[in-house]
Amino acid sequence: HLADTLIQRNLQEWISTACRFATDRNDFRRNLLVNLGLFAARVWVARNLSDFDLMSPQPIT
Amino acid sequence: MGSVLAASSPPPPGSGVVQGAPGLVSAPPGFSMPSVPPPSVPGQPAGETGSPLPNPGTYEECHRKCKEVFPIQMEGVRLVVNKGLSNHFQVSHTVTLSTLAESGYRFGATYVGTQQTGPAESFPVMVGDMDNTGSLNAQVIHQLTSAVRSKIAIQTQQHKFVNWQCDMEYRGDDFTSAVTLGNPDVLLGSGIIVAHYLQSISPALALGGELVYHRRPGEEGAVTSLMGRYTGNNYVATLTLGGAGAHATYYHRANDQLQLGVEFEGSMRTQETAVSFGYQLDLPKANLLFKGSVDSNWVVGAVLEKKLLPLPLSLALGAFLNQKKNKFQCGFNVTVG
């Protein structure tokens, strides 16, 4: 019962922190995290785009 | 933005003349400008002197490979006519018609000297252009010794000097250092000094720093930043961290046709961040070059360059769309010669 209470309290705290971040008027921090995530995603895309050949012959349909 | 010729043969990375940089002039296409050997990738042989570490290049070049992938914003119509008068001298005529900027005519001249230091390097190099109002951009680059290179740049607005700067660069076996003096005014006691240092730590890793000191009557200050660059087989990752913010770029060469670039910029001072993604498709068999970009500010842009062979003519079409601000901008360039 004590463990359940602790887990519930931690979960509530985590949810309230996440809500506070989402509604925080400090847009710079939110934008920074979003843009860092976008940067990482685009680096991943760039590293995986290697099989691209515009001059390859078109497949016969 | 340059012609297809310049784009298909990428400008030497060490050139002190960068298109689009404020206060500097662009080298006419087809002219060899002083170049700097690119930083070696792992596994490449060491430098000529036998040092195990290669020269890392200059501080300004580190982000350049990624920046070159992105399209340059074009607006209005521009006609450029280049004419080589000899192996050492070339002139250019540029007519610009624009709604945002001033329309006008520019006359440019480039002289490359006879002191040849390499297969594609000759010194001194003098580049200048003047518009119809009398505003001048001029630059002189000279190799003083095998390791020391100097550059003087001047920009005027009609009769008034706006920018004047002088810099010296020293290339060691595994490091490069440079000092730039900007707008020095002895009478007022003002000016800007910029010092760069870049050191090869390993064949792939280079670390460096920048110090900017500015002074004017009643005010002085300094800003420092640190930079790291890692070079892989087909990619370059660079990070600059300073008091003003952070700048990270990632360049990837997917294959012979496709190059990609990702850029992140964050400023603590303006509390803004932005991410851009750009790509460059190069099809020399089709005489075609296409650059596209999209960024986190909802700006989408593209530039298409096409050589119209057998004519000595290049055509460039560019368009940028800002979705957030509902603004659209397009441009059209024709380059002859």
Task: With a cut of 60, say whether residue A46 has pLDDT above it.
Answer: yes
Structure confidence at residue A58 as a pLDDT band (50, 70, 90): low
* Average pLDDT along chain A: 78
Provide, as residue numbers in chain B, all residues whose Cβ is less than 8 Å from the Cβ of A35: 264, 266, 273-275, 296
What pLDDT does B3 receive?
34
Inter-chain touch A50–B271, beta carbons under 8 Å: no
Inter-chain touch A39–B262, beta carbons under 8 Å: yes
Minimum Cα–Cα distance from B282: chain A residue: A54
Give the whole-number percent of chain A exceeding pLDDT 90: 13
Counting one residue from A and one from B, how many pairs have CB atoms under 8 Å apart? 60
Optimal mutation site among A25, A33, A38, interface B, most CBs of chain B within 10 A: A38
B272 lies within 8 A of chain A by CB: yes
CA neighbor of B73 nearest in space, from B281, B317, B324, B335: B317
Per-position b or e across B69-86, b if 16+ CB within 10 A of its CB: bbbbbbbbebebebeeee
Q: What is the DSSP letter of A55?
A: T
**How crowded is residue A30: how many other Cβ atoms within 10 Å of its Cβ?**
15
Q: What is the pLDDT of residues A3-14, one digit of tens each?
A: 888 888 888 888
Query: CA B42 to CA B231: how far, in whole Å?
Result: 8
Q: How high is the ipTM of this complex?
A: 0.72
B157 lies within 8 A of chain A by CB: no
Task: With a cut of 80, say whether residue B109 has pLDDT above it.
Answer: yes
* Average pLDDT along chain B: 86
Shortest alpha-carbon distance between residue B226 and chain A (Å): 19
Optimal mutation site among B247, B275, B282, B294, interface A, most CBs of chain A within 10 A: B275
Of A28, A39, A47, Cβ closest to residue B271: A28
Task: With a cut of 60, say whether residue A34 has pLDDT above it.
Answer: yes
Minimum Cα–Cα distance from A50: chain B residue: B254
Question: Could you give the angle at which helices A2-22 and A27-48 cross, rounded to 10 degrees?
Answer: 90
Average pLDDT, stretch B46-71?
82
B239 lies within 8 A of chain A by CB: no
Q: Is B153:B125 a contact under the CB 8 Å cutoff?
A: no
Inter-chain touch B281–A42, beta carbons under 8 Å: no
Q: What is the pLDDT of residues B290-307, one digit of tens each?
A: 999 999 988 999 999 999
Shortest alpha-carbon distance between residue B2 and chain A (Å): 24
Q: What is the pLDDT of residues B189-214, one digit of tens each?
A: 899 999 999 999 999 999 999 999 99
B271 lies within 8 A of chain A by CB: yes
Provide, as residue numbers in chain B, all residues whose Cβ is less than 8 Å from the Cβ of A47: 235, 252
Inter-chain touch A35–B255, beta carbons under 8 Å: no
Of A27, A43, A54, Cβ closest to residue B250: A43
Query: CA B41 to CA B230: how far, in whole Å?
Result: 9
**Position A46, amino acid:** A
**Position B91, amino acid:** V
> Is the sign of the CA dihedral A41, A46, A50, A55 positive or negative?
positive
Inter-chain touch B266–A52, beta carbons under 8 Å: no
Shortest alpha-carbon distance between residue B265 and chain A (Å): 9
Provide, as residue numbers in chain A, all residues whose Cβ is less than 8 Å from the Cβ of B232: none
What pLDDT does B2 receive?
35
A56 lies within 8 A of chain B by CB: no
> Could you tell me how many helices (H) and strands (E) chain A has, helices first?
2, 0
Of A35, A53, A54, Cβ closest to residue B275: A35
